[in-house]
Each structure stands twice: as structure tokens, then as C-alpha cells.
Structure 1
Amino acid sequence: MRNYRVGMAKDASTKYYFIRNTDTMKIEVLPTKYLTHMTRANRSPNTIRRSAFAICYYLGYMEEKQMALEDVYALDYEKQYEHFTEYLNWLRSGNHKENKVKLPDNGTCNAYLKDVFRFYLFMEMQEAPDTQLSVLAYNQITIANAAGVKRTLRSKSFKGYLREEERKVRAAEKCEIVTILEACTNCRDQVLILLTSELGFRIGEILGIDYTRDIDYESHEVKVDFRDDNENDARAKNAEERRGKISMDTFDFLLYYLSEYWDVIQKQNYLFVNIQGETKGRPMKVDSVYDMFERMEKKTGIRITPHMLRRYYANTRWDADWPLEMISQALGHKHLDTTVRYLNVMDDKLKAASQEFYNRYSSLYGVQKLLEGK
């Protein structure tokens, strides 16, 4: 990061990120203003933190180039394209890190560049409303469907992102989950694994569960919704509320966990808390969950992650003949193709579901007429 460092200050429970030039010891005003804007817009602290580092890396890149942020606007389209493509390759080579032992993958590099583009868009709104990066200009075409309704298709012209490999994450197996559960040394970890497996919630959503208002103790349902005041920074990825039902056995185990650690849990509202050490009684954080799974891997030789448990949930529901749309909604996905990637195989059931979907909706876009040559 050369002469730039990311810092963080807290105001009550709110985290504010900033970027400092360590050569002059001054705060970089515009980047910090953008990060403050993100905080006030209730973006996730983890998202803001990643954006802070992305911009910090970019400032280091610009320092090497001996360029100011505004200089990029003077470049023509081809030069801008080349500039940001070189930035991606600069990141991929690990030039943003002091230690190059572990290089970032293509997806991480692309995410950093997208953060930089968002920062430039903020700059344009704040500093130069009539200015726009050429590589962020839109290509667009307008088409009409069979009913004559026009739609405008837009795509950004920058296509220089690095090719990302498909995430090779498999679903956990039932026998593996049972082995991990047996290896756990406390019922808190067991309840966390069971809820993640039976609800399909993201780990941030699981850790954000408020036992005083998110659990329906009569119907054995657990809900998740967006809150921006979670002390452990665990937030729902999407803002919509979702509900899931847990089995009787898991519910009984949940009650046992609450009674076992009630002296610690009752002092706050989060379901999952640290149960020992200096942070005993504080809300459990994501890093602690991954540390737990790493301990279980060393103990059993079985590698399981929270994401693998979500995939287990998706596949068991698919095997139980749940409609694809229902699984997608339960997982909190915005797009069906994301849900499809969670499933182990493209089998006859998925083909039939896809065919049913297109048969139902293709007429809206005049597909049948197009296929028939009308």
C-alpha cells in the first residue's frame, strides 16, 4: 500500500474507516468522505472495510504511476481501459502487499476494481457532475417483446475483468455433519451447526439471531431480517425477512443450550455468545466460527464450512422435491442461477423444473413465435 494505510475509529457502536497518507500523516479527504458516505448509507462494515483497502491499494498504484486520481479522466477510452487492466494485473501479481506469499485470486482482484469504480462514481457526483470515465459509459439497446412493451438493455463497456474460476464448493454430507457434531466440546457449537444445516441461513445471519425476538418458541420458527446495529457486524446480506422451521430435536437442543448458558446469554440479546475467556458473554463473531471449524478439521480430518452447510440444506430440500424457486427464496438468493450452482447435479428433475419454468414464462417475450419463425 506504499504510503497509505487504512484506519478505523469508533463513535459509540459505529465504525468509521479512513485512509491516511503515512508520509504526510494527513487524512486522504475524498476517499475518507466516500467511506463515511458508505457508513451513513448503512453498508455492512465488512463491505466498507474491503472498499477502504481497495481504494488504499489503488492509491498506491497511482503513486507508482505518478498520477493523481483526476488524471485518469484526461485519458481516452483505450488508455483508460489499459490503465485499469494494468491495475488488475498489478493486484494479481501481489504488488499491493508487502508479503507476496499468498496472492489474491481473480475474483478478489475484480472485486477491488469494482470498489474503485464505485469510488470514481462518487467522485463524479461530488466533484465533477459533468465528468464520466469512458470505461464506465453504458452500451444500450432497446427491444420490444411480443406485447409491444419496450425494454432497454444496458451493459457497461469495460470488459477487462480477469476470468474468475467457478467456486468449487461441495455440499457437506450428513455423515460428516454427524461426525463434527460428535467432536464438538460444547452444545453452543452443536446448536450453531444444527441451525445452519436446518435453516440454510448465512453464517452472518445465524450470528445475528436475537433470541428475544427472532425465535418463535411456539411454532419452532426462526426469522432473519436486516439490522444495522449488530455488535458483531453480522448482518443479513439482503434486506428481506425470511423464516425457517427447525426440527423438534434441534429445538429441544436449542432450549438446552439456552438453559446451560443462561447466566451468560441473559445479559444481552444475541443467541450465540462467547462462552469463555476475556470476551465471555460478548456476541460471537464470524472469525470465531471459522476457528471452531478449523479445530474440528484438525480433530476429525473432515473439512466443513458454513457455506458447505448451506449447500447441504439446498441439496436435501431438492432431494425432498422442493420447487427450485422455494429453495432459492429460503436461501435468500436474488437469482435462480445462483441456487442452481448450489445443487450437486444437473439431473432430470432440474431439467424438468427448467422446462416448466420456461413453458410458463416464455410467452411474455414472444419466444414461441420466434422459434416458429412467425
Structure 2
Amino acid sequence: MPWRVERADFEDGRNGHLIIDDESFQPHPEAIEFVAAMYATDRSPNTVRTYLRPVAEFLNWGESQGVDWRRVTILDMARFKRSLETTATRTGRVRAPSTVSVHLTAVCEFLRYCAAAELIASEVPMQLVERKWMPRAAGHGPKMESGYVRHVRASALRVRPVEHAPETLSKDQQQAMIDGTSTARDLFLFRLLLDAGLRIGEALGLRWEDMHFLPDSSSLGCPLPDAHVHVLRRPENINGALAKSPRSRAVPVHDSLVRLYRDYRFERDEKLTEIEVCGFVFVNYTGPRTGQAMSYSNVYQFVKRHAARQGFRATPHMFRHTAATGWVESGVKADVVQELLGHAQASSTKVYLHPSHERMREAVNAVSGSR
């Protein structure tokens, strides 16, 4: 009974994903409750899909190994972890440690939910965490003679991370993506992702009222000067686009982006003269959803095909990595990059502080050449 993740349309008009039986097309009963719980806590469709794929793989692994997932043991999970680390994917490559870690986190969250909902015994997820003593930070936690406090949510199946700089687009690849666009909409989207570093969910959730592109936005009730974009979390977005952080933020944009926005508005009005257009910034130009908000799958497939025609691989999130890396390499301070990206924790921004091999080579050559 192989399980797979499939796209689904829900009664409220939103689309998302479920784990279904590949033969009967029936949804997995416990997984469907897990999906409902994630959507109830405003998880984005992209996050839900990211969690469901490892869960489906875990369920399939259990059936192939004769392991009842409802009674899985720490030894079973160690075997599953080993399988993730050694089994090649469809691309022929083994998973990176960070990917294995994401898989284990998703499965543990699934098991924790099932235990909380009394679908499995509470002992099952409890064996996957261990007590760990952490140094006591000043002013935090109960004071103890040893100077330590107890932290009980440490995973018992840790993966040693391999830190490396995030995958970005080179200058030539950026230019190829921009030069290859055929509409003002696509050009504006690519430049917005590259210049403002938005997540694709944040960009697809933008409304007209979020685009404050006037020199003075006081007439819009906004005290911020110059051109900027407001990023807000809207769980009700019909296309499922959802800002990851519940905290709204304003991201400044360059004047050149304002000009591209004007070109897009003109093009959109020309192409959709007889179509009722929604209030989202990015809409479909063709197909049965013409005039409606673009979805994650629209953009992912479009970016993938567009880059493939140019001879390389790209994803929408690589645009964000490219923007953040560019800011860091230009000398922008980490706290500014953190705020631009909307990271709640400084640790999330730390990955962009890893210098590339080329920059390290330049540093060595600069010093060695002066001797």
C-alpha cells in the first residue's frame, strides 16, 4: 500500500496537499487529521507539503520493513534515519544532513500530534526526545548549584550538520533569468525577489494596498518615507500564499523597481481588459484561472522551466538566498539583513555570513600577493 503526497482542493476554495493511498486514492486517516491541525495553526501549503513528503516516506518505509508506525521504537527510527542517509533519491544523490534532519523533524511532529490526539500511545514520541542539561543563561531558568537548567526537548536522533553557504544565482544566471522574461509581470516578479529578498509566499500574497511606491505615503496612512512594500500574514489568501512570520514588516525598494511595477500595471490592464481581476498583485494571464492570483505551483514550475532553458537549475527561494548573500557581501550589517529578511532569530540569518570559496580565495590572494 504505497503512500504518496497529492494536491487537493478543499471545500473553502483553498488548495493544499494530502497523503493518499496510491491504489485506492483514499487519504491516510491519521495524516489527514495532521494536515487539518497544521492548517488550523496557519501553516502555509508549502510548509504542509514539506512535512507530508517525509511522513509519506516514513509510512512506506515502515510497510516495506514490516514496522508498525503506531508502535515505532527508537531502534526503528534509528534504522529509518540510516535509510535516509544512505538511500539515493530519484536524482541519484544521497540526502544532505540538513535534509535528513528536516525529514526526522517532520516525522517526529507527526508522531507527537498523533499522541496528543490519542491516536497512538504517548510513549511512542516520548522516546524520541531526551533530557539534556544546558548552561544557564543569565536571568533565565531556575537557579541551581550546578549553574545548569534542564531542557527536555532535545532530539534523540540528531544529525551532525554540515554548514555551507546557501545556493545562489551567479550574476550571469541572474541576468539570464531577467533577459529571458517575456512579460513585464515576470520581470517585475524576478526583480522583486532579487532586490527585496521576499519569500515566494510573501510575494504571491501581496495586494495592491501593500505597494507603497510614492515618495510620501502619508495619504495612505503610512508614515514611512520613500518606496517600500508591506509584507503581511494573511491566512485567508485563496491561493494559499502565506507569509511565514506573523510579524508584518516593510521592505524598502529601489526606484528602478517602481518603474518596473508601473510597466507591469500597464501591461496587466492591457491584457485583462475584459476580465474581472482580483486584488492580488501577481495574477495569471492565461488558463482557466486568468485574472486570479498565481499559486506556488505556477511560479515553481515557471522558474524551473525558465532556468532549464538557460542551462541551469533555479528555484524561487534561490532568489532570496541571492539577495541576502549580496547584502552581506556588500557590507550590510547582520541586524539589517535580519530585518530585511524578516527573521525572528539572528541564528536564521547566520547562514548567510558564511563567505563563499571565491571570497576566501580573494582574501588569501590579496594578503599573499602583498608580501
Contact 1:220 1:247 in 2 (8 A): yes
Structural mapping, 1:304-323, within 5 Å: 305-318=315-328, 321-323=331-333
Instruction: Compare 237-246 and 6-15 and name the one that shifted more.
Output: 6-15
Q: Is 2:178 aligned against 1:185?
A: no
- How far has the Cα of 1:339 moved from its partner? 2.2
RMSD: 3.6
**Post-superposition offset of 1:299:** 5.0
- Pair 1:293–1:21, CA change in 2 (3 A): closer
Do structure 1's residue 286 and structure 2's residue 296 form an aligned pair?
Answer: yes
The reply to whether residue 123 of structure 1 matches residue 122 of structure 2 is no
Using the TM superposition, name which of 265-274 and 111-120 deviates more: 265-274
CA distance in 2, matches of 1:316, 1:100: 29
Q: Against the structure 1 CA distance between its residues 84 and 244, is the aligned structure 2 distance closer, same or farther, given a 3 Å change threshold?
A: same
The corresponding residue for 2:3 is 4
Match of 1:110 among 101, 109, 112: 101
Q: Helix, strand or coil for the counterpart of 1:271?
A: coil
**Candidates 253, 256, 268, aligned match of 1:261:** 268
Q: Deviations over 1:139-197 (max 9, x none)?
A: 23563638997473525454434445445535445565344323322211111122112
Write the mapping of 1:112-151 to structure 2, written as runs, cut at 5 A: 112-127=103-118, 131=123, 133-141=126-134, 143=136, 145=138, 150=143
Instruction: State the shift of 1:71 in Å.
Output: 2.6
Counterpart CA distance in 2 for 1:147 and 1:157 is 18
Q: Contact 2:15/2:240 (CA < 8 Å) preserved in 1? A: no
Instruction: Give % identity.
Output: 21
Query: In structure 2, how many angstroms separate the alpha carbons of the residues matched to 1:293 and 1:9?
Result: 23
Residue 260 of structure 1: SS of its match in structure 2?
helix
Number of the residue aligned with 2:52: 52
Give the CA deviation at 1:207.
1.8
State the partner residue of 2:213: 217
Given the alignment of the two structures, is residue 196 of structure 1 paired with residue 203 of structure 2, yes or no?
Answer: no
**Aligned 8 A contact 1:85 1:161 in 2:** no
**Cα deviation, residue 102, structure 1:** 6.0
Q: Following TM superposition, by how much is the alpha carbon of 1:121 offset from its aligned partner in structure 2, in angstroms?
A: 1.4
Moved more, 335-344 or 144-153: 144-153
Q: Do the aligned partners of residues 172 and 344 (structure 1) sit closer, same or farther apart at CA in structure 2, a change above 3 Å counting? A: farther
In the TM superposition, what is the alpha-carbon distance from 1:89 to its structure 2 partner? 2.5
Check 1:106–1:220 CA distance in 2 against 1; reply closer, same or farther (3 A cut). same
Deviation at 1:267, TM superposition (A): 0.8
Q: Is the 8 A contact 1:88 1:161 kept in 2?
A: no
Q: 1:21 to 1:289 in 2, by over 3 A?
A: closer
Contact 2:338 2:346 (C-alpha < 8 Å) held by counterparts: yes
State the one-letter code of the partner of 2:336. M
1:86 matched residue in structure 2? 79
- Runs of at least 5 residues in structure 2 that lack an aligned partner in the other structure: 215-225, 361-371
SS of the equivalent of 2:236 reads coil
* Alignment CA distance shift 1:318-1:143 (3 Å): closer
Q: CA deviation at 1:22?
A: 6.3
* Conserved 8 A contact 1:5-1:56: yes
Which shifted more, 158-167 or 29-38? 158-167
Higher deviation after alignment, 36-45 or 274-283: 274-283
- Summarize deviations over 1:60-82 as a string: whole Å, max 9, x none: 2332343433433xxxxxxx332
**Deviation digits for residues 77-110 of structure 1 (CA, Å, limit 9, x no counterpart):** xxx3321111123344559x8x685654443333
Task: Figure out how many residues of one structure are paired with residues of the other and give that number.
Answer: 337
User: How far 1:234 sits from its partner (Å)?
Assistant: 2.3
Amino acid corresponding to residue 186 of structure 2 in structure 1: D
Residues 8-64 of structure 1 show CA distances to partners (whole Å, capped at 9, x for unaligned) of 351122446554556787654333222222222221222223333333332223323
* Residue 205 of structure 2: aligned partner: 208
1:114 Cα deviation from its structure 2 partner: 1.5
Amino acid at match of 1:255: R
2:246 maps to 1:239: yes
The one of 342, 345, 354 aligned to 2:355: 345
C-alpha deviation, 1:247, in angstroms: 1.8
Q: Is the 8 A contact 1:16 1:39 kept in 2?
A: no
* 5+ residue gaps, structure 1: 73-79, 349-374
